[in-house]
A and B are shown apart, each in its own frame.
Chain A
Amino acid sequence: MTSAPRDREIAVVAFAQTDHRRTSDEFSEVEMLMPVLHEVLHATGLKTADIDFTCSGSSDYLAGRAFSFTLALDGVGAWPPISESHVEMDGAWALYEAWTKLLTGDADTALVYAYGKSSPGSVRDVLTRQLDPYYVAPLWPDSVALAALQAQALIDAGDTDEPALAAIASRNRAAATGNPHAQLRGPVPQGDHLVQPLRTGDCPPIGDGAAAVILAAGDRARELCARPAWIRGIDHRIEAHGLGVRDLTDSPSTRLAAERAGAFERPVDTAELHAPFTAQEVVLRKALRLGEDVDVNPSGGALAANPVMAAGLIRIGEAAARIHRGASDRALAHATSGPCLQQNLVAVLEGEPR
């Protein structure tokens, strides 16, 4: 099931995120997370006891803290026991799980949160541990190197060039001047090649952060939010593990997820894309058929703030927040996971006609 049945409409009714920063070592993960949990609860007037289902996304590898999600549960008031789940992925996938839970009718409200502390370790090295352990991980190709292979493939195909990539970096960070939570805002030098053809400006900032959203079904959503961001469809798809099997200049999984989520049925006015590297925006725009009339990443996207494991959920939250405040009527949100856009999730959100 990939589109919500009309008799069980589900909406994002609140969104909050931290100010994303290079380091946050004065805070434990739960200390970093708690303010955003309080913020979404306050926005809806809900208390922790009112939440029917809680789902989170994070990865212990980032900070090197085993079972950190169980400690983070302290922030949601997990005693007495609550209905709760966790994905070792970006919080966008936790939102997908919560959405299916609400579709079943087992819950009317859900709290979804995600967090990542990249500062204690080296995220470029940490992410190598998600690669094929037999053929790839022993070579330790870091996340920037793999993104650079994809960028060169796009350049060779004539889909982009270094000046075009620099323009993507510049446009996203200019948009982020309107986002008080972003880590990089305004003009940022493109800098030297980190792994050629990618320069530092083509890469996301490394930072710590957290985000939370509340989902609610039907009339409950209308009670909790003046203009709910209705989820008209969500789908996620995955491509082959082997990079050399895939066409890195395309993203068939994004295209299929978007089709199944209903993204192509009518135009969207806003797209929040989870493209940590500039070249990935080129791939996603093509796969999602986004024209120049679509406002892409008005938040600044992952190039302005990329708290790993939360950055995808933030795309859904940013898209929903634009609908809440009337800046968008139909928005697309995208999240990715794995190297070179291996896995992709697309959600379509709509506000009621005004």
Chain B
Amino acid sequence: MSAVLKAPLVVEFPFTRSLGPVQSAFLTGLRERVILGVRTGDGRTLVPPVEYDPVTAEELHDLVEVAPTGTVTTWAWNAAPRRGQPLTTPFAWVLVRLDGADTALLHALDAPGPAAVHTGMPVRVRWAGERTGAITDITCFEPCDGPRAEPAGHTGEFENPVTGIVAAARLDYTYSPGRAQTAYINALSGRRTVGERCPSCHQVYVPPRGACPTCGVATSEQVEVGPRGTVTTFCIVNIKAAHTANLGIEVPYVYAHIALDGAGLALHGRIGGIPYDEVRMGLRVEPVWTDGARYPDHYRPTGEPDADYDTYKELL
């Protein structure tokens, strides 16, 4: 058995998130170098502020400015910063209770080493040069030897408030399709289509996933199917694909379920070589390969008589 295939897989997503009034005021404040908390019904000040009291679930809206100086409530030394973290040089993760606040904010502390950090140490905000209304408008905290800052009593009203953020994320994986699909993909590179037969119900699954969904047992016996097959059902696509891989395909075109000869279920494919309005259930088709491709570009009519409905009705 050949080795299992592997390939890099990057998942990136820039979620656009809207802000409620309290989050909007807090993040807009950061842009303007103002730090806001929210006052709860029992008189505590939460920083960072939230829109609902975490204890009583009461809606909160009473904004209050706190100082850009505060006290470390706990910390952890991060000798090997990872991608996306606030600093690229070793730093301490800290929870900081800002002066005037009753809860702590998570951020980074720039310090020369773990010996220079302790719980209870005074710190102050280091602002980013360019600020957009995001938590990263605070570059980090830094040790603060001087006097504590006083908040100016900001109301939380700003011009051009920030109303949303883009939460960008990127995760890197090494994708492996597993044993069964590796065999399928390897066979395709030799222009063969290989499925797996269930040892219990004898259905042949294409592409194989290593298990029979009816019997819940492992499949392993490889069976070559096709190359010819029968259109079991189809649709006419009238919307031009935005995806670059399909840009060259003119609409309307036909997308079909095709039961390859010997297969126990139908797979998907585009039908070409015939006017779109002449495609029909039972049409006999064969794959068309293009040079260097790892899967059929499309399927075209073989010229055989149509298959009897009874021969494919179970595969619809």
Q: Max chain B CB contacts within 10 Å: which of A26, A153, A244?
A: A244
Give complex CA distance A126, B77 in Å: 21
Q: Are A71 and B83 in contact (CB under 8 A)?
A: no
Verify if A140 is at the interface (C-beta below 8 Å from B): yes
Interface residues on B, range: 35 or more
Chain A CB within 8 A of B54 CB: yes
Known: A75-B211, A140-B84, A242-B54. A145 touches B93 (CB 8 A): yes
Partner of B173, one of A63, A137, A153, A241: A63
* B73 neighbours in A (Cβ, 8 Å): 153, 244
Chain B 168-195, CB within 8 Å of chain A: the 1/0 string?
0101111111111100000000000000
Query: In the complex the two chains form, what is the Cα distance from A195 to B135 in whole Å?
Result: 22
A139 nearest CB neighbor, chain B only: B86
B66-115 CB contacts (< 8 Å) to partner A = 73-79, 82-86, 93, 95, 97, 103-108, 114
- Whether the pair A31, B83 counts as a contact (CB closer than 8 A) is no
Is the Cβ of A77 less than 8 Å from the Cβ of B106? no
B214 within 8 A of A: yes
Interchain CA distance A79-B49 in the complex, whole Å: 49
Cβ contact within 8 Å between B76 and A28: no
B79 A25 Cβ-Cβ under 8 A: no
Report how many A-B pairs have Cβ atoms within 8 Å.
192
Q: Is there an interface contact between A133 and B15, defined as CB atoms closer than 8 Å?
A: yes
The bracket for how many chain A residues form the interface is 35 or more
Tell whether A248 is near chain B: CB-to-CB under 8 Å: yes
Q: Looking across the interface, which residue of chain B has its beta carbon closest to that of A239? A: B54
Known A61-B171, A121-B171, A138-B135; judge A152-B104 contact (CB<8 A).
no
- Contact across chains for B167 and A133 when beta carbons are under 8 A apart: yes
Instruction: Given A121-B173, A149-B74, A149-B76, answer yes or no on A28-B178 (Cβ-Cβ < 8 Å).
Output: yes
Q: List residues of B (124-138) whose CB comes within 8 Å of A's CBs.
A: 134-136
In the assembled complex, 19 residue pairs joining A and B whose CB atoms fall closer than 8 Å, in A order, are A28-B209, A34-B216, A71-B209, A74-B209, A74-B210, A74-B213, A77-B216, A121-B171, A133-B165, A134-B17, A134-B135, A141-B106, A156-B74, A195-B77, A195-B79, A196-B114, A240-B55, A242-B54, A244-B48
Which 4 A-B residue pairings sit nearest by Cβ, starting from the closest?
A28-B178, A244-B104, A77-B216, A148-B76
Binding site for B on A (CB under 8 A): 25-31, 34, 37-38, 48, 61, 63-65, 71, 73-80, 120-122, 124-126, 128-129, 133-142, 145-146, 148-153, 156, 193, 195-198, 240-245, 248
8 more contacts with CB within 8 A, not counting A78-B216, A139-B86, A145-B76, are A26-B178, A63-B173, A64-B9, A134-B167, A138-B167, A152-B76, A245-B46, A245-B54
B binding-site residues for A, Cβ under 8 Å: 4, 6, 9, 11, 15, 17, 19, 23, 27, 46-48, 50, 54-55, 73-79, 82-86, 93, 95, 97, 103-108, 114, 119, 134-136, 165, 167, 169, 171-181, 209-218
